[in-house]
Amino acid sequence: QLPTTFDKPVHIAVIGGTGLGHLEGYEPIAAVNPITPWGPPASPIKILSHNGTYIAFLARHGLHHQYAPHEVPNRANIAALRHLGVRCVIAFSAVGSLQEEIKPMDFVVPDQVIDRTKGIRPFTFFEGGVVGHVGFADPFDAGLAAIVKRCAESMEGDGVVLHEKGTVIVMEGPQFSTRAESHMYRSWGGSVINMSTLPEAKLAREAELSYQVIAMATDYDCWHSFEDVNVDMVMKYMHQNGKNAKRLVGAVLDQLSNIEHSDLVMAKKWEGYSQGGLKFM
């Protein structure tokens, strides 16, 4: 039984998605479950010890994958991480590919996002008298993206293929897209599609965190001659490439823990950015 409190600041976090429900090879030293003004996070947050620093790991869909994408308590997740001291988040997500050259099991570091959620997910901290507006022109963090790219380059020999930019379409789900929608997203310039990067990335920006998603393709959605996406296919490819996903995230964590107090990890450029006077506990 792990301690349920941890009183040192934790600056680096991983939000794991489908197929990345936990991180192996790290010493868990606590599992905390802060109750935020938006409720508890999707899962207790594991505090892992790594290279003399601490890393927070949160399973986005819950320990038993009990939250569908539209049910994920995103505000509680982000607020709980921020409350622990987190300033920098690596988020992981299984995605459908909208481009021929992004093959199942390839990784993508998106630099843009198109919001196709339906506004039914709570998507902001700024309401109820707390007013704020944040820029979101570049939704992800180029500094974190550069680290992910460098790590993937060093793993090329192990069959890791990484696409250095791309636009992720975030749809509401939980149903997958129609064929007409899939073709439309391609015509919009979409690279990959998922159901979970928003509102997570928007909330991370409001909470003044550096945030980058690492996407792994598990299917060609339904625009391709390849079999249409289904859950078994997503799980099969996630499982087949889970080792590389964990190694890539692990390599990124090695780098981030080495620069734990840098402006990048400490999200210096976002300090005071949202000016909304948010309180996360």
The encoded tokens of residue 21 equal 């429900």
Q: What are phi and psi of 209, to 5 degrees?
A: -105, 145
Q: Residue 200 — φ and ψ, nearest 5°? A: -50, -50
Given candidates 94, 148, 162, 209, which one binds ligand ADE under the rule CB under 6 A?
Answer: 94
Q: How far is the CB of 94 from ligand ADE (least distance, A)?
A: 4
Return the number of the residue (61 or 82) whose C-beta is nearest ligand ADE: 61
* 228 among known catalytic residues: no
At 88, list the tokens.
């920098």
Question: Does 267 participate in binding ligand ADE (rule CB under 6 A)?
Answer: no
Element (H, E) at 254: helix 242-258
Q: Is residue 138 annotated as part of the catalytic site, yes or no?
A: no
31 binds ligand ADE (CB under 6 A): no
| Range 204-219 burial, b when 16+ CB lie within 10 A, else e | bbbbbbbbbbbbbbbb
Does position 92 bind ligand ADE by CB under 6 A? no
Strands 12-16 and 53-59: parallel
- Binding ligand ADE (rule: CB under 6 A), the pick from 95, 145, 203, 249 is 95
User: Cα angle vertex 110, ends 105, 116, to 5°?
Assistant: 100
Q: Does 212 bind ligand ADE (CB under 6 A)?
A: no
Q: Which of 100, 86, 103, 107 lies closest to 211 in space, CA to CA?
A: 86
Q: Does 245 sit near ligand ADE (CB under 6 A)?
A: no
Residue among 229, 267, 226, 218 at smallest CA distance from 17: 218
Nearer to ligand ADE by Cβ, of 210 and 212: the residue is 212
- The token pair at 86 is 């987190």
> Which of 56, 113, 229, 245 is in the footprint of ligand ADE by CB under 6 A?
229
The DSSP bridge partners found for residue 93 are: 215
Measured from the CB atom, is 53 or 197 closer to ligand ADE? Answer: 197
Count the site residues for ligand ADE by CB under 6 A.
13
Nearest to ligand ADE of 221, 260 (CB atom): 221
**Which span (59-67, 89-97, 183-191, 249-257) binds ligand ADE, by CB under 6 A?**
89-97
170 sits near ligand ADE (criterion: CB under 6 A): no
Is residue 215 near ligand ADE by the rule CB under 6 A?
no
Asked if 191 is part of the footprint of ligand ADE (rule: CB under 6 A), the reply reads no
- Interface with ligand ADE (CB under 6 A), residue from 15, 219, 248, 267: 219
Q: What single DSSP character describes residue 138? A: S
Taking the C-alpha atoms of residue 253 and residue 257, their distance in angstroms, rounded to an integer, is: 6
| Phi, psi dihedrals of residue 117, rounded to the nearest 5° | -75, 165
Active-site hit among 106, 111, 141, 219: 219
Residue 15 beta carbon to ligand ADE: minimum distance, rounded to whole angstroms: 15
What's the CA angle centered on 80, arms 76 and 83, to 5 degrees? 140
Positions annotated as catalytic residues are: 219, 221
What is the contact surface with ligand ADE in residues (CB under 6 A)? 94-96, 171, 176, 193-195, 218-219, 221, 229, 234
